[in-house]
Structure 1
Amino acid sequence: MLRVVVLGAAAGGGVPQWNCGCAVCRMARTEHPELRSTQASIAVSADGDHWYLVNASPDLRQQLIATPQLHPRAGQLRHSPIAGVILTNGEIDAVAGLLSMREGSPFTIYGHAKVLAILQTNSIFNVLSETNVRRQSIEVDQMFEPALPSGSPSGIEILPFAVPGKSAWYLEGKVHPAGRDGTGDTLGLRIGDKARGIYFYFLAACAEVTDELKSRLAGAPLVFFDGTVWRDDELILAGLGTKTGQSMGHIAMSGASGAIEALSGLDIGRKIFLHINNSNPALLHASAERKTAERAGWQIPADGTEISL
């Protein structure tokens, strides 16, 4: 059985964002604490004892405290059920949480060479001693099975694949540590139970739904998908920024080319948005945008939601 825990569903900054006074953030601080959400990450396990994080958000310490499945085993002074972290991109909200895992417990970081190069060239990540924390490169369209701490198979098979996106925003105008050629900056994952054949998809960032991606996701039992903005020019209209969703590497939920329309009619069993920005009105339970998403079969999860497949 695959178990999946949503550790956080928000985009960078979380909800409420520390310096934001938008309607969603104001409500999350005051009369609607249920709107609060940490930055996007999930944990997955095939045996309930060993867990793999997909991305390590800056809120990781808070997420681990709130998630009993990821607590140290009773009676042990030093223990973590986290066996590895799979990185889908090099953005701050996907890698900064690694720094909270520097206390000596062994685990493996799995990432594309382009993302691992970002970690390698930033000396702050050297606090993750390679004595305890291995870094293993993963390849686009090549299945791999993360190992348990003992070295034995985990029973989870993961297929990374390239999706339309962009490199981390803090690298804009700079030379990428791994060069500019090729894919690997933005990955989607097909995560499956090797023994049972059940699987789901995880895409925290996606700039466009291509025909190839539609074919890949069609008929999937479960899809976690990029829900950063409701409309492409959302941040501009709200006076919160100058960038469109597309320029940040994120597709909008709505519109003729948005995720809701593009992924309709694909017989996906369960569709869940995550990486949702505080500017997105679909976060508000009574909003027209939320109702539109729900009518189309989409869910917006609360932190701590667990799904079994």
Structure 2
Amino acid sequence: MERELNLVQALNEALDLLLTDDDKVLLLGQDIGKNGGVFRVTENLFNKFGDRRVVDTPLSEAGIVGCGIGMALNGLKPIAEIEFFGFIYPALEQILSHLSRLRMRTQGKYKVPLIIRAPYGAGVRAPELHSESIEALLFQSPGLKVVIPSNSYDAKGLLIAASESDDPVIFLEPMKIYRSIRHHVPEHRYTVPLGKANVLKEGSDITVISWGSMIWNVAHAAEQLEKSHGISLEIVDLRTLYPFDIETIQESIRKTRRAVIVHEAPLTGGVGAELVAVIQERMFSELRSPIKRITGFDVPVPQFSIEDYYLPSAERIVYEIEKMLVSLVR
């Protein structure tokens, strides 16, 4: 019988495998040891591998990332956890001034195989700075790979693939679906290639590009549009934001001739803006309509009482696509 795991279980299993297979791998972060992490992703790993492999750190994001950089430069393979993505701001000096630049600064002499994990995104009624979606800030920093899984199978495979990279990886985990989405996850070690998108659903009318928890809102919208209007969406799960898989995107759009991008981060300067630019540059003559972006608003993630209005819900995705198609008919 196939076993199904949620994201937390799949990530925990991946970390267990990495620690078991390679004694250079170690984990560091606040409350990841005895407490098992704020979302219990590292649960039981402290008991199994001890405090030299699963290191509880002080509350200092700059210190966590700075120590991780030093460890990586000296032959270790650290995996650092930031409790919430919004807490990463104090560590940005380490990430942008050092982590992303060290390979270039040393002309390739040094590698920095550091993974920084963090739960990200809104939808769980968290306080301010706990629900940030600032992936575009790191997406724009050369030298970093940025990865966001949308399901447990990909989460395990992408994390293992990230551990095999000689370059730093920002690994963002959509906490809205930490425990609500289950998939078949093999027990053995496997990888999902970085930089390769996944066509989650094939369709003929519109290509919808998304990532993280928004993928499932897009999937619900696709069901509604199919039933109500016979509109067939092709869903492309980007999985790796940088470097993103433009070949899969182009192949899909050549079939549908229309594109929509859905993400929960604010509209202005989001990853969707870069995707629009690249698609326009490469495929302008093949598009039948302007590319549509359906995103969060240009405000900080609001208080939890109105959080649902901020996120692109399935209903809003349906509404925006319907409005897009009506404007084309006119």
- Which structure has greater helix proportion? 2
Give the TM-score normalised by the residue count of structure 1: 0.32
Give the TM-score normalised by the residue count of structure 2: 0.30
Larger Rg: 2
